[in-house]
Amino acid sequence: MFEATKVGRTVSKEDFKEQQEELRTLLLEAQRELRETNIPVVVLVSGVEGAGKGEVVNRLNEWLDTRGVQTFAFWDETDEERARPRYWRFWRTLPPRGDITILFGGWYAAPIENRFQDHCNDAELDAELNRIVEFERMLIQDGALIVKFWFHMSEENQKACLNALSRDDRSRWKMMPQKAKFSEHYRVFEQVAERVVQHTDQGISPWHLVEAKDTRYRDLTVGKTLLHAIRTRLSDPGGAPNQGAATGSLDMPSGAQAQITVLDKLDLSKSLATPKYKTRMTELQKEINELAWYAYNAKRSTVLMFEGVDAGGKGGAIRRITSAIDARLYRTIPVAAPTDEEKAHHYLWRFWRQVPRAGYITIYDRSWYGRVLVERVEGYASDTEWRRAYSEINRFEEQLVGSGIVLLKFWIHIDQDEQLKRFQDREETAYKRYKITADDWRNREKWPAYKEAVNEMVARTSTQHAPWTLVEGNDKPYTRVKVMRTICESLERALAAGRPAISGYVPCGDKRTAAPAPSGTPVEKDQKGKG
């Protein structure tokens, strides 16, 4: 889920100067308005070491009117605190209505640290996270606005930052002794962080993931996000759940490098020559055919899910799969506008209906992600609805994977030029003409909005148990082979490993015993066949 914080967003000195000036005025204005209301604001600052949380807080204190702003760090517990229930120290710091409190780490620091140090297991961590969700919900229902920032950067960048800090005499004192270990254990820390952020990323108190490498981008993003969150809350004094701004939504820092997304990191020039493509595809089709049968015998189900830019080549990729697999084993679900019956239910209902039974494959051509893509961009779903959907979708997928289903999610991406070429081609070719509608042209105009929606979607729903596969789509042969290869590799891995349980997902409500490991992994079976 942190891919979106490693794309290299930056803001130039000039852009920063210009935008900072306006931002400061607006922040002070918002703060003044806030004082007249009954809204207490809690700003939570978390993230990887070296991301400059302290600098951000200093910046906020510089920008805001410090009357009405209090900052708390939770280092060692005091005697007073140790002698009372754990949350006493947090209750002490909660702001009165109209004020702002900035918390370093807050109630997240201890659970993350404890899990990272292996002082508790995933299930215990989850239990604590559930208590946090309830605690935050309670404050929000009472009118509070909670704005949570997670600062992140790539492993190399973190290393560079920490090295720079320790080299510099003026900043060496900032390097607390334990900092070094964090960079060593970057991956472990990131996994814990993902679990924590994902579990507590509720529609009513979302996390804002901020790329922290460029300090100007980082500070501007924090300021603008906070401003947006306060303003949205002020405009809805009814006390509706707070809608913080999405990371990088359109009123975020501007400038050429400030709005690049995970999609810009794709190398769309990747391609595959035709002869090579043909050989490889034939191999892969044979392989997927066999794997589908193995999976059937092992009673492992598969869900393949395709999303992507219009004319990106979803259909072509799907056809290469379906033409290789026995038609009795799969079903393709093209997802268009919902039927009347589907509309009469929760939006996930139509997808639950189609969940494959053990051993079968369901291919979704477009999916439940419509909620956070087209429904978001076109305004079919309200702000509250699509923001809530991220965690609903994560829970849904957790259930699929937890029950043993192999879930693969593909985003097939092409650039705007390629899309134009394909659209024109469709209009000119008789048998392709049915594929292009006025809608497609209209969607094309909303390219930046879709791009931002995809970026946030990947940030919030690319999880350890159900990661997104982003596919470079400009070259069709390359696309199809990458899709096929990913499926084959994942299926093979899953079948070889037997049925995995999501760590921490204990199906207490499930009386069935775990499915037996498949009688023979593909490899073993091959050997048998040879024997």
Return the residues of window 294-323 that contact a copy of itself according to CB under 8 A: 299, 301
Q: What share of the chain is helix, strand, coil (3-state, %, to 5)?
A: 55, 10, 35
171-190 footprint of a copy of itself as x/- string (CB under 8 A): --------------------
Residue 62 CB, nearest approach to a copy of itself (Å): 26
Contact range with a copy of itself by CB under 8 A, out of 54-62, 135-143, 218-226, 370-378? 135-143
- Give the position of tokens 């400061």: 24
The answer to whether 392 contacts a copy of itself (rule: CB under 8 A) is: yes
Residue 144 CB, nearest approach to a copy of itself (Å): 8
Q: Tell me whether residue 21 or residue 510 sits nearer to a copy of itself (CB atom).
A: 510
The answer to whether 29 contacts a copy of itself (rule: CB under 8 A) is: no
Residue 349 CB, nearest approach to a copy of itself (Å): 6
Q: Interaction with a copy of itself in 243-262: which residues (CB under 8 A)?
A: none
The answer to whether 435 contacts a copy of itself (rule: CB under 8 A) is: no
The closest of 230, 209, 215 to 69, measured between CA atoms, is 230
Strand boundaries in 350-464, DSSP class E: 361-365, 406-413
**Selected binder of a copy of itself within 12, 70, 215, 399 (CB under 8 A):** 399
The closest of 150, 226, 164, 67 to 460, measured between CA atoms, is 150
The rounded distance, in Å, linking the Cα atoms of 146 and 139 is: 8
Question: Residue type for 325, please?
Answer: I
Q: Interaction with a copy of itself in 90-129: which residues (CB under 8 A)?
A: 91-92, 94, 96-98, 107, 110-111, 113-115, 119-120, 123-128
Contact range with a copy of itself by CB under 8 A, out of 247-255, 264-272, 315-323, 505-513? 505-513
Neighbours of 496 (CB within 10 A): 14
**Selected binder of a copy of itself within 53, 216, 231, 388 (CB under 8 A):** 388
Distance of CA 386 to the CA centre of its chain: 14
Q: HEC profile for 263-312?
A: HHHCCCCCCCCHHHHHHHHHHHHHHHHHHHHHHHHHCCCEEEEEEECCCC
Q: Interaction with a copy of itself in 332-371: which residues (CB under 8 A)?
A: 341, 344-349, 352-353, 355-359
> Rounded to 5 degrees, what angle do the CA atoms 231, 235, 236 make?
120
The rounded distance, in Å, linking the Cα atoms of 427 and 18 is: 45
The rounded distance, in Å, linking the Cα atoms of 469 and 317 is: 14
Q: Interaction with a copy of itself in 45-84: which residues (CB under 8 A)?
A: 77, 80, 82-84
The rounded distance, in Å, linking the Cα atoms of 461 and 391 is: 8
Residue 9 CB, nearest approach to a copy of itself (Å): 32
Contact range with a copy of itself by CB under 8 A, out of 19-27, 53-61, 164-172, 387-395? 387-395
**Selected binder of a copy of itself within 58, 66, 130, 503 (CB under 8 A):** 130
The rounded distance, in Å, linking the Cα atoms of 83 and 312 is: 61
**Selected binder of a copy of itself within 17, 87, 279, 527 (CB under 8 A):** 87
